[in-house]
A and B are shown apart, each in its own frame.
Chain A
Amino acid sequence: MKLVPLSELKVGESGIIEEITDPWASIKLIEMGCLPGEKVTVKLAAPFRDPIAIEISGNLISLRRAEARNIVVKIMP
């Protein structure tokens, strides 16, 4: 088990959200369903690898890589 920023995940990889480190972005993210304990999958990366789109409880959410860096996820080795 390993903790990494969501921005490190490749398309198709999943993890469980551990915490969100930026306090302001966290409210926006929590509102949209990015909660600690939720499973998150990276579904798409835009050309030039940024932004990315993640799937979380059935919703597709787009965010910039810099914003994804604030989401720490747990991945199974």
Chain B
Amino acid sequence: MSEKLKITLIGNPNTGKSSLFNALTGLNQRIANFPGITVEKTTGYFQLPNKQEVQLTDMPGTYSLYPKSKDEAVPFEVLTDPHHPHYPHLVIFVADSANLKRNLVLLTQLIDLRLPVILVLNMIDQSVAQGIDVDIEGLKDFLGIPIIPTNARKKKGIQELLEVIQKGVDVSSGTFISTDKPSPIPLETLKEELHLCNAYQALLSLQQSIVHAGSKKDTFKRTIDELKADYNFDSGTWQREDLLYRYKKVNELLKIYVHQRNEPAFKRRQEKLDAVLTHKVGGYLIFFAILFVIFQAVFSWAEYPMHLIETSVSWLQHWSHAHLPQGILNELFADGILSGLGGVLVFIPQIAFLFFFIGMMEDTGYLARVAFLMDKLMRGFGLNGKSVIPLISGTACAVPAILATRNIEQKKSRLITILVTPLMSCSARLPVYILLIGLIIPEQYVFGFLSMRGLALMGMYLLGFLSAIGSAWIFKVFMNIKEKQYFILELPVYRSPNWNNVWITVFKKVKTFVFEAGKIIVAISIILWFLASFGPPGKFREINAKYDSISKTHTLTESQVSSAMRSEKLQNSYAGVLGHVIEPAIKPLGYDWKIGIAIITSFAAREVYVGTMATLYGIEGDEPDISKLKGSMRNAHFDNSTEKVYGVPTVVSLLIFYAFALQCMSTVAVTYRETASWKWTLLQFTFMGVLAYVASFIAFHVLK
């Protein structure tokens, strides 16, 4: 056999499914979205003892095959359609041994779909600790499928599982429920007519009104609709009946094969933890303490590796300028591609830190408690308990924060969280705020110790937070998403964290960001480089000639000449031309065309504003002197006028513009990756742009 064996991993949430996935595949995983939706599709690869290659696809955790939203439809579509590219040769069903009643319901659906399936009784150690005794042999004989007890966190039982896969698994000899029983509809006839494989598939097709049949889809759809009308078939009722009947049967089964001794110590420990961690005062204190640590990590600890990455990239740029053949290709490589790559790599420390903590909170079961604690506070704004972590992380950087919204199951809340997170003031805005605040607020103290500049800075953060919450509310009112929003979630059993799982979470998130969002970031960065370093050719030749002669005739230092030339080149580049083009549009906000250039270039990252200003005002050196820059900015006049550019109205207007506008290509890239839709990506960009423009306009005219 040279063809890969396709296996699907499926199970309820919180059954240790990802632990098993990690134990089987290690880091050999590929992460993508299922086409058109934002359900993560993780595919991993491993080898059986006989060298057979296996492709393992992880399904999102689900309680039954009945989808209640588009995202939940994935397991249903994959497992009921033999023509689906992911339709498996074999299914591994992961069950929580301590929780068989609920788990086995989904298993019986798989058996009735006539899929070859292995039942993995995971977390077997825990069920033993809880005094649960499963008669594995008896259950195996009754269900007619292989059963493997495992403890995936400790990698126990994996070898046995591999051997069973290698031996091959047959479809169980009979269905779990004879399907004619709960249905008066002639399912056998329907099965024949629709060319389906079995009666349960026919029943599911009827309930979901879905047919997988390519060209004959329309005729089949008509057959189904006619049948539904003939028999007065109500999908909801049938799903309920089917589930209840399965529960009843599973219950009867478990009475025979599962015995529970009383083991209260385990439960008491769990209850004690909940009493502390969800306490109405203590619970918040603990959560805020944890948030504080996360904030520290993403905001300050990440600085060191980020600085290291930045210095390495800039060293590489210098090296390439100095040692590679000069010319356009060199500049493209050093200033376009390398700086784009640097722009991608620099996010890795923040993403890694944030997901280290999120991975740990998720793995221990604490994250669900956070959602439980915060839900009421966030609900009024169309958000929910799980939006808190992305929002707070947004004050460090919107990129990891938006990646962290995956944990929010409710589509509308998740979307709103993504849309408003970039309004939180991120760390890239900080250098811009500090420069601008320094221009208009004197270095004085209120009451002798409160720095006025510090207060102004805090005001900017507050502005970001309030605008995020306010916009969330607006989206909640106007966003029309028909899917029902539930906040029904399991509070899983507390466990000590499994470092292997945490580490793989971090690795997956970093890898996804670098390869998916990274592509867009590098592309935009090349465009920006082109705009800022090229201009109408005639003009550039003139500048070169002019500075050639200046350096020959004048007594200026080389550095003075080169910074003056850089300034003039940028002013005359395509970005400079664009700055002039957009000047009429930004004039009402109190900006001149130089600010226009900075707004364009800072799309690479907001802090580029400072560097662009330094170049434009001809400040010398690689690390521009901020106080010199402030001096030049204070003296700057509008063209053909004596009016100063950086008066209070313009600076306040500019501060507000940077607080609101989505001046960040990385955020755009990540939003696209996480919403899988240009519609929402553009909406976010436009919404923030309009908000920035209007608010700056008002601020400028009120203060003028």
B374 smallest CB distance to A (angstroms)? 8
Q: In the bound complex, do residue A48 and residue B486 qualify as a contact, i.e. CB atoms below 8 Å apart?
A: no
Q: 25 A-B Cβ contacts within 8 A?
A: A24-B484, A25-B484, A26-B236, A27-B66, A27-B236, A27-B243, A28-B486, A31-B243, A32-B102, A35-B244, A36-B244, A44-B278, A46-B372, A47-B376, A48-B377, A53-B274, A58-B99, A60-B490, A61-B490, A62-B368, A62-B491, A63-B486, A63-B487, A63-B489, A67-B488
B93, chain A: closest CB distance, angstroms: 16
CB pair A44 B274 closer than 8 Å: yes
**Contact A28–B488 (Cβ < 8 Å):** yes
| Neighbour of B487 across the interface among A26, A29, A57, A62, CB < 8 A | A62
A-B contact count (CB 8 A): 104
Chain A residues within an 8 Å CB radius of B284? 47
Taking CB atoms and an 8 Å cut-off, the chain A residues in 21-68 that contact chain B are: 23-33, 35-36, 43-44, 46-48, 50-51, 53, 57-64, 67
A10 CA to B319 CA, complexed, in Å: 70
CB-CB contacts of B310-324 with A at 8 A, as 1s and 0s?
000000000000000
Report the minimum CB–CB distance from A19 to chain B (whole Å). 11
The answer to whether B376 touches A46, judged by C-beta atoms less than 8 angstroms apart, is yes
Are A59 and B488 in contact (CB-based, < 8 A)?
Answer: no
Chain A residues proximal to chain B, CB less than 8 Å: 23-33, 35-36, 43-44, 46-48, 50-51, 53, 57-64, 67
A32 touches B63 (CB 8 A): yes
Residues of B within 8 A of A35 (CB): 244, 247
CB pair B487 A43 closer than 8 Å:
no
Q: Please encode chain B, from 462 to 502, with 1 for each CB lying within 8 Å of some chain A CB and 0 for all others.
A: 00000000000000000000001011111110000000000
Known: A30-B240, A51-B376. A57 touches B66 (CB 8 A): no
Nearest-neighbour CB distance to chain A for B362, whole angstroms, equals: 15
User: Which A-B residue pairs are the 9 nearest by beta carbons?
Assistant: A31-B63, A47-B280, A60-B491, A48-B376, A63-B488, A33-B102, A31-B64, A50-B376, A62-B372
User: Bound complex: CA of A36 vs CA of B243, how far in Å?
Assistant: 12
Closest to A35 in B: B247
Within the complex, the shortest CB–CB distance from A13 to chain B, in Å, comes to: 16
- Once bound together, how far apart are the Cα atoms of A59 and B371, in whole Å? 17
Residues of B within 8 A of A64 (CB): 375, 379, 487
Instruction: Kindly report which residue of chain A lies nearest to residue B375, judged by CB atoms.
Output: A51
Distance in Å: Cβ of A52 to nearest Cβ of chain B: 9
Q: How far is A22 from B489 in the complex, measured between Cα atoms in Å?
A: 17
A17 to B321 Cα, complex, angstroms: 74
Chain B residues in 8 Å Cβ range of A46? 278, 280, 372-373, 375-376
CA distance A63 to B102 in the complex (A): 18
In the complex, what residues of A have CB within 8 A of residue B105's CB? 31
Partner of B243, one of A24, A30, A50, A59: A30
Bound Cα distance A33, B473 (Å): 34
Bound Cα distance A30, B488 (Å): 11
CB of A26, distance to nearest CB on chain B (Å): 6
Q: Chain A residues near B375 (CB, 8 Å)?
A: 46, 50-51, 64
Measured between beta carbons, the chain A residues less than 8 angstroms from B278 are 44, 46, 53
Q: Name, among B98, B236, B243, B491, the residue most crowded by chain A CB atoms within 10 Å (CB to CB).
A: B491
A68 to B284, CA, bound (A): 24
Q: How far is the CA of A35 from the CA of B251 in the complex (A)?
A: 12
Kindly report which residue of chain A lies nearest to residue B63, judged by CB atoms.
Answer: A31
- For the complex, is B569 an interface residue (Cβ under 8 Å from A)? no
Within residues 42 to 79 of chain B, which ones have a CB less than 8 A from any CB in chain A? 63-64, 66, 68
Q: A51-B375, A51-B376, A62-B372 are in contact. Are A28 and B489 (CB under 8 A)?
A: no
Q: Bound state CA distance, A55 and B284, in angstroms?
A: 23
Complex Cα gap A29–B487 (Å):
11
Instruction: Point out the residue from A27, A33, A44, A50 that lies within 8 Å of B101, measured CB to CB.
Output: A33
User: A72 vs B484: C-alpha distance in the bound complex, in angstroms?
Assistant: 21
Find chain A residues with CB under 8 A from B283 CB: 47
Is B239's CB within 8 Å of the partner chain A?
A: yes
Q: Is the CB of B490 within 8 A of A32?
A: yes
Name the residue of chain A whose CB is nearest to the CB of B248.
A35
**Complex alpha-carbon distance, A65 and B375, angstroms:** 11
- Residues of chain B within 8 A (CB-CB) of A51 are 372, 375-376, 487
Cβ-defined partner of A26 (8 Å) among B98, B240, B371, B491: B240
Q: Return the contact of B488 from the options A23, A25, A47 (Cβ within 8 A).
A: A25
| Least CB distance, B489 to chain A, in whole angstroms | 5
Report which residue of B64, B372, B376, B486 has the largest number of chain A beta carbons within 10 angstroms of its beta carbon: B372
How far is the CB of B193 from the nearest CB of chain A, in Å?
27
A36 to chain B, nearest CB (A): 8
Q: How far is the CA of A51 from the CA of B370 in the complex (A)?
A: 12
In this complex, which of A23, A29, A33, A63 has the most chain B Cβ atoms within 10 angstroms of its Cβ?
A33
Cα(A23)–Cα(B236), bound, Å: 7
Contact A53 B491 (CB under 8 A): yes
**A57-B102 in contact given A28-B68, A35-B244 (Cβ < 8 Å):** yes
Q: Cβ of A24: which chain B residues have Cβ within 8 Å of it?
A: 68, 236, 484
- Inter-chain contact B243/A62, CB cutoff 8 Å: no
- Residues 94-112 of B contacting A (Cβ, < 8 Å): 98-99, 101-102, 105
Neighbouring A residues of B484 by C-beta, 8 Å:
24-25
Query: Which one of B64, B98, B274 contacts A43 once the chains associate, using CB atoms below 8 Å?
Result: B274
With A28-B486, A46-B375, A60-B490 already in contact, 19 other A-B pairs whose C-beta atoms are closer than 8 Å: A23-B236, A26-B240, A28-B63, A29-B488, A31-B63, A31-B102, A32-B102, A43-B271, A43-B274, A47-B376, A50-B375, A51-B375, A53-B372, A58-B98, A59-B99, A59-B102, A60-B491, A62-B489, A62-B490
What does the 1/0 interface line of B297-333 toward A look like (CB < 8 Å)? 0000000000000000000000000000000000000
CB-CB nearest in chain B for A61:
B490
**Smallest Cβ-Cβ distance to A56: which chain B residue:** B102
Q: Which of B64, B105, B486 has the most CB of A within 10 A?
A: B486
| Inter-chain contacts of A58 with B (CB < 8 A) | 98-99
- A48–chain B nearest beta-carbon distance, Å: 4
Contacts of A33 in B (CB 8 A): 101-102, 247
Alpha-carbon gap, A63 to B486, bound state (A): 8
Q: Kindly list chain A residues whose C-beta atoms are within 8 Å of the C-beta of B488.
A: 25, 28-29, 32, 61-63, 67
CA distance A24 to B491 in the complex (A): 22
- Nearest A residue to B101, CB-CB: A57
Question: Which residues from chain A contact B239 at a C-beta distance below 8 Å?
Answer: 27
Q: Are the C-beta atoms of B491 and A61 separated by less than 8 Å?
A: yes
* Cβ distance B452 to chain A, nearest Cβ, rounded Å: 36
Q: How far is the CA of A62 from the CA of B23 in the complex (A)?
A: 30
Q: Give the CA-CA distance A72 to B63 in the complex, in Å.
A: 22
Give A37 to B373 CA distance when docked, in angstroms: 29
